[in-house]
Structure 1
């Protein structure tokens, strides 16, 4: 073998060694780089900004509880809560990112949607089977213009509670259905016994009364279809005046007056349980406290013209997603967690009547009747005040107050529009 051949073979071997070393280095760098990128991705902080724009203490407490539970379940997601900015000016949502999720009222949801600031949540409804797992009235609160822009968090049925022992003490008949309420309220007025009204912080004392009166008003719920329209368009909705007409009729019969209802509180609940008060109007929020053998609620709401159909349902907290939010994956994780059967079961265990059909199957006593009130409900259960701009609130309240003081004119709705739409 010649020297040149030997040198050629050595050169080839050296070349192969160099090539192998080069390939090993490239592979090592690539593997290390991929691992480093993966580590960076895993260590990158996941964020979720939640903007809370609700005033009701009970709903706030529930929302904070749900967020804390989510943090335990997903510790790698940094959840920031912001409720220091007011959404009085909905344009703020369009100007800047104030959250990946907004918790707000139905009124604000409608205003934000009309500006084009909210995402359609139809996909989230489908992915999380909300249409199958949640009540119709609950879903209706998040629907506007045939699309879903919000997902309800806390449904509260407005219930009429009575203390059986207290009724007996005052020699009052037990109200077996809503038609008995007229005579019972009339008798309480004669005895100068006021009925405490304990609702959510965003509603006034008369909201319960008017929401009960409008049970027979067909198509009242679709007032949202003309939300914030002109005074002329609102004037065409003459059925609103019939609400005031009905209240005046009840006033003339002695069923309602300015002293029939009063603002209640936690003390009222205690006095009611002790038998000092025979009747209160409140919500299913107090199910845990009021689920006693001596406490009953009116079950049948389909009895007379003045009070017909399903009970009113309060939903003052809707989960919405602004179009300028980010953290899409984290938003999806949050919604999946909140609306899971497991999380809803936890709310039930803490004494809440939930929006979830499966969780509520465990309700007992008066809770079972509250569940039925949710099951039998639909969009007619939405309170009128959640389908009207806030500029009408003061006028409606004052006109009811005037009627219950004997100052009925028959032009209440016209007067309200003239004052609110200047």
Structure 2
């Protein structure tokens, strides 16, 4: 994943405008001595595709709004972001993860966007999964930027040559087949998502009540102890491990070049973020669709690494809202779609016939239940869950992991 990290750093450098700490450099005032033509955006994401979209949106907006200036501030940690939003009114917009959006909304640092949603018909013009990411309780605090799924792709010729009807396999059976053959599975995911988190997320679909988990976000230890769904996920992971469907050495983190290797048959299959699996159709590569695990049917899991929100303390909310209105307009969304971005805007998706058909159907059918449960966990708990995942893969399982990690988190 070193390549992704380098690209992210380069993109940030291209966007960054000599900022130090929370002190954003003031824009040069225009002839009317107004500061309102400057929008300051706090960016906290490692997702390469999201950064590309942000850069495209900023360049497009500048072309439309002559004289507008947009500053980007990058952050190194969540505390830096919270502190800046508390201590200054110079931040107008925030681009960050769902985990942080939930935290910032709890602190009252980002604005209620219910009126923005209503005035701009966001719920009518975007698929449900886009709006679900930005909701907490009955309030909207953010809007999703780029949805993607983790697709299991395979080399059709490899399985045909072995006279295997892969379409009759469930994911569970496919993992068992790969494990018996001692074949490594390459995985290409955004840097912020751990390889084994991906498998656990697929396993946890339909097992975790996402709405209840969001409701108790940053609640006390007692509330989390009473929420048993994630222990059920860890129990399922233990079963897959004990029954030799899954091992800790099965997955290999690779870069997006692996798509060509799968197509040429060097790997029989891989797990790839759909944001990397785009462009022209490959000769031998197909997308696997039966995600059934431990006897339970699974629906698509839709990821979104970045959301955009308005800072509550912004002294320039009017311009910030204008920028939001621009990037969530059908016109810009269609332009973004024409440039290869999968946005979740209904009109743009309907008019784009180059989008991976599996991805399109997954986005259309998804809602809050398809949000990965890891995005509704406070970072401290998510890190503890990740640690328990690796312990289970090493053969250590007690059945009391959730209680233990909550105790350690609090």
Question: TM over 0.5: same fold?
Answer: yes
Is 2:123 the counterpart of 1:131?
yes
Out of 52, 56, 60, the residue aligned to residue 65 of structure 1 is 56
The ranges of structure 1 where at least 4 consecutive aligned residues each deviate by more than 6 angstroms after the TM superposition are 42-45
Change (3 A) 1:56 1:322: same
Out of 194, 198, 202, the residue aligned to residue 192 of structure 2 is 202
Q: Which position in structure 2 is the counterpart of 1:76?
A: 67
What's the CA shift string for 1:269-303, capped at 9, x where partnerless?
Answer: 231232211211122202424633532213355x5
Q: Which position in structure 1 is the counterpart of 2:251?
A: 261
Change (3 A) 1:325 1:44: closer
Residue 352 of structure 1: SS of its match in structure 2? coil
Structure 2 residue runs without a partner (length 5+): 1-29
CA deviation after TM superposition for structure 1 residue 306, in Å: 4.6
Residue 278 of structure 2: SS of its match in structure 1? helix
Q: Which position in structure 2 is the counterpart of 1:184?
A: 174
8 A contact 1:59–1:317 mirrored in 2 = yes
Q: What TM-score does the superposition give when structure 2 sets the normalisation length?
A: 0.86
Counterpart CA distance in 2 for 1:266 and 1:252 is: 31
Please report the RMSD computed on the Cα atoms of aligned residues, expressed in angstroms.
2.3
Out of 366, 370, 378, the residue aligned to residue 377 of structure 1 is 366
Out of 304, 310, 320, the residue aligned to residue 321 of structure 1 is 310
Q: Which position in structure 1 is the counterpart of 2:402?
A: 413
Change (3 A) 1:352 1:277: farther
Q: Which position in structure 2 is the counterpart of 1:148?
A: 140
Structure 1 residue runs without a partner (length 5+): 1-38
8 A contact 1:155–1:355 mirrored in 2 = yes
CA deviation after TM superposition for structure 1 residue 85, in Å: 5.9
Counterpart CA distance in 1 for 2:35 and 2:231 is: 58
CA deviation after TM superposition for structure 1 residue 368, in Å: 1.8
Q: Which position in structure 2 is the counterpart of 1:174?
A: 166
Is 2:384 the counterpart of 1:395?
yes
Q: Which position in structure 1 is the counterpart of 2:204?
A: 214
Moved more, 333-342 or 166-175: 166-175
How many residues are matched?
380
Moved more, 133-142 or 56-65: 56-65
Larger Rg: 1
